Amino acid sequence: MIGHRWRRRAAGLAVAALVSSGLALGAIGTSAADDAELLRESTASEECANAEAVEGLGDNFEENCLTEAELAEITEAPEAASILQPGETAGTPNLSLVSNLPKVGPFTPANALNSDLAFQGKYAFAGNYNGFTIYDISNPRKPVQVTQVLCPGSQNDITVYGDLLFLSTDSRWTDESCSATNLPNISDTAGRDYWEGMKIFDISDVRNPRYVAAVETKCGSHTHTLVPAEESVYIYVSSYGPNVGLADCQPPHDKISIIDVPLDDPASAHVAAEPVLFPDAANQGGNTAGCHDITAYPHLGLAAGACMGDGIVMDITDPLNPVIVDQVRDPNFAFWHSATFNNDGTSIIFTDELGGGSGPTCNPTVGPNRGANAIYTWDGESMEFASYYKIPREQANTENCVAHNGSLIPVPGKDIFVQAWYQGGISVFDFTDPHNPTEIAWFDRGPWTGQSIAGAWSTYYYNGFIYSNEIQRGFDVFDLRDPRVAPAKGTRYSELNVQTQPVY
């Protein structure tokens, strides 16, 4: 592939914090399907022939922009006899599931999807479309739920920084409180105020998190990324899906929002900048209406973004003024989802979430180069395509499977990545040679039998173990015993937000 290069207000203090060491009480969040209308109406075109036909759950339903032929390809592929059956598991002997904590209470419904993960000290923080859970992982083989906070707002992408916890809300609500009413249809917002954006909690007492601030952002916050500074932490807010029917999410939305959170006064958090990343997009004929996710690498003063149609590298040495330094497109990518640098910053993994997380794309018909990772080399000025990586195992046609969230395993001198593949399970692969990535471990379950998506949303390495937030089955812990990754145990993090990439 040849790369092509181109160049709100702040809400008042939130009104509710709903917490207990058991289950918090409050309104149950709505299905992720409620957000499908936004994408359907904002991207409907001749190329989106099936836009009204798909009603499954997913990561904002990017499969709504598959053509009829593409949809047929991923749903009508023949099944292989070797595919796991419901209730079965399989994997390499070097990777073992050592613990699973099922979803409980208001997080139990199928539409309460488990989402991203963050870590601090002996705690794991797990997002869910209905709020978040804090686990004590001081004994990773026996994690214990400490607190569950009910605060609906898909997809509740989550990060932590010191005493603060941040949640992304990418759905429309009557206000910023945890007891607000969802406004699932664009027509519901006509003639009225509505809210979506970032929520901020004080977690100085992990058993009693306190909701301290909310900041409204244009088009909400699908994901977010922390960029630390001396007296503040900046939050890069990624959102997309503009629509002329939404007062606070107007096209073209070729921007991100940057929130300034003063560490000595987080309640005064506010949008400090809205840099337009694609000022010439209208002249290039491309759809660059926002970004899906950004990974910052403060050690190098860089960030990599997965945006609408583009993979980008930005200079973030001035955090309020990120500047794109290179930009690529890939003909095999349907939806640029996420990005990760290797440790020395010479390679970048981009993921393609073909089907938006809802489609069965892990089959021979779709093939090895779509719904995959694309690995690029980076020389400090430009990216060059090196290879694709996709799990080699075929999945059932009922199993949503595509590349999703993962992290580096901190092995000095090596580039090893662990990654979630929804119902494709988890995969560990070595991309030290970016032209020849090789799988070294994997784990997979048979199909989820419910009428919704399932599988691993985020799978990250943290201080000796692998943690995975399974959309339906709960919080998983894995032990990877392999001499190729054993040196990683010498690296210990006091805090880990994977999209704020640490150096090791």
Q: Is there a contact between 127 and 167 (Cβ–Cβ < 8 Å)?
A: yes
Q: Is 337's pLDDT higher than 50?
A: yes
Please name which of 262, 240, 263 lies closest in space to residue 252, comparing C-alpha atoms.
240
Residue 217 covered by a domain: yes
Model confidence at 82, in pLDDT bands (50, 70, 90)?
Answer: confident
Any residues with CB less than 8 A from the CB of 43 and at least 6 apart, and which? 51, 64, 65, 241, 287
Q: Is 36's pLDDT higher than 60?
A: no
Percentage of the chain modeled with pLDDT above 70: 82
CATH no. for residue 313? 2.130.10.10
Residue 340 covered by a domain: yes
Mean pLDDT of 82-92: 94
Mean pLDDT of 292-309: 97
| pLDDT at residue 49, rounded to an integer | 35
Residue 11 covered by a domain: no
Length of the chain: 504
| pLDDT at residue 34, rounded to an integer | 36
Residues 164-197: tens digit of each pLDDT? 999 999 999 999 999 999 999 999 999 999 999 9
- Number of separate domains in the chain: 1
Mean pLDDT of 249-275: 97
| pLDDT at residue 54, rounded to an integer | 31
Residue 504 covered by a domain: no
| pLDDT at residue 471, rounded to an integer | 99
**Average per-residue pLDDT for the chain:** 87
Residue 2 covered by a domain: no
Residue 12 covered by a domain: no
| pLDDT at residue 73, rounded to an integer | 54
| pLDDT at residue 451, rounded to an integer | 86
Q: Is 74's pLDDT higher than 90?
A: no
- The number of CA neighbours under 13 Å toward the Cβ of 363 is 21
Task: State the residue for tokens 């290069």.
Answer: 5
- Compute the distance between CA of residue 174 and CA of residue 183 in angstroms, rounded to an integer: 7
Q: Is 1's pLDDT higher than 50?
A: no
Task: State the residue for tokens 């093939």.
Answer: 367
Model confidence at 365, in pLDDT bands (50, 70, 90)?
Answer: very high
SS3 66: coil
Residue 13 covered by a domain: no
Domain around 313: 19-496
Residue 273 covered by a domain: yes
Q: Is 352's pLDDT higher than 80?
A: yes
Residues 413-444: tens digit of each pLDDT? 999 999 999 999 999 999 999 999 999 999 99
Residues 451-491: tens digit of each pLDDT? 899 999 999 999 999 999 999 999 999 999 999 999 999 99
